[in-house]
Structure 1
Amino acid sequence: MHLLIPGQENLLINHLVLDFNGTIALDGLILPNVREKLLELEKLLKIHVLTADSNGSAARECEGLPVELHVIGQDDQREEKRRFVRTISPGVAVLGNGVNDELMFREADLSIAVVGQEGCATATLMSSKIVVTDIIDGLNLLLMHHRLIPTLRK
């Protein structure tokens, strides 16, 4: 996916990293319409779900989806998420909401904070390039990336 944003370097995004709980899922269950959007996005990007799996449901919920599921440990999750993004960089877009997403937001080429029903950690919000109030809006920005231009142009 090529992003041509006036006043900025052109971005080539190859990977999408998604947080699970609070971003694409609520209380351990994938939110409505997320599955359909991920099936559309798989044609454009390699999709990774990066989670501490607090509810123990990520594997079941991601079954049949075009995603690589990566369950991280309970210790130093912020650094583990950052390291993961570094291993697949450059060309990474991330969506998340938790404080453990802040450092991966700083590593990513494009970071979108989702202020959903769980809210969003202030540190992550302040590290984002874009803020949305619904995961579907965030995923649609990637599917219809012309919408990014008015938000990000300088």
Structure 2
Amino acid sequence: MISMDIPGWGNLEVENVVIDLNGTLATDGKVPSEVKKKISSLAGHAKIYVLTADTQGTATEEIQGMKVELIKIEGKESKEGKFNFLKTLNLDKTVAIGNGSNDQLILREAGLGIAVLGDEGISVTALRQADVMVKDISDALDLLLKPNRLTATLRE
């Protein structure tokens, strides 16, 4: 578990990290090797779930060897599907990371929502629901691996 006390925000205990795959963790369906290493480090502190509708069809191959659980969201209603999965976890102890319009509910309802700009851009609806925005997935993971960064951003 990752635990941090953020002035004005409160105590944040992270047991779960829910990450959107395409556009967030992966660009054009590929997860960079540097990101895989950070995921491996983070997996020692929290359970990591990768959510995807598998738009690129590469999800199973791309997460091979990563210490994550792949959750495939079926059907046209991926926003609700992602949110329904999130509700199976302890929301207050879960961080959601995403970039798409279909990530807006998980970004809003998780204990902490991190919006990722990335190479594929970010939906304004997702951005409005997040607590923090970063330029890429590497920075998002670093907020959890180096908690003082998150404290500096969120403190009041």
Q: Same fold (TM over 0.5)?
A: yes
1:126 and 2:128 correspond: yes
Q: Distance in 2 between matches of 1:116 and 1:99?
A: 14
Show the counterpart of 1:39.
40
Q: Distance in 2 between matches of 1:113 and 1:35?
A: 19
Show the counterpart of 2:57.
56
Show the counterpart of 2:138.
136
Alpha-carbon distance, 1:9 to partner? 2.3
Alpha-carbon distance, 1:89 to partner? 1.7
1:113 and 2:153 correspond: no
Matched residue type, 1:109: G
Identity across the alignment (%): 42
Q: Distance in 1 between matches of 2:108 and 2:42?
A: 23
- RMSD (Å), alpha carbons: 0.9
Matched residue type, 1:130: V
SS at match of 2:41: helix
Alpha-carbon distance, 1:140 to partner? 0.5
| TM-score (norm: length of structure 2) | 0.96
Show the counterpart of 1:69.
70
Q: Deviations over 1:48-74 (max 9, x none)?
A: 000000011000110110000001013
Matched residue type, 1:119: G
- Map of 1:15-26 to 2, 5 A cutoff? 15-26=16-27
Matched residue type, 2:148: H
Matched residue type, 1:113: A
Alpha-carbon distance, 1:97 to partner? 0.3
Q: Distance in 2 between matches of 1:148 and 1:61?
A: 28
Q: Deviations over 1:21-67 (max 9, x none)?
A: 10111111112411100110011100000000001100011011000
Alpha-carbon distance, 1:7 to partner? 1.2
Q: Would you say how many aligned residue pairs link Structure 1 and Structure 2?
A: 154
Show the counterpart of 2:155.
153
Q: Distance in 1 between matches of 2:105 and 2:77?
A: 11
Alpha-carbon distance, 1:99 to partner? 0.5
Unaligned runs of 5+ in 2: none
Q: Distance in 1 between matches of 2:121 and 2:133?
A: 12
Matched residue type, 2:23: G
Show the counterpart of 2:79.
78
| TM-score (norm: length of structure 1) | 0.97
Unaligned runs of 5+ in 1: none
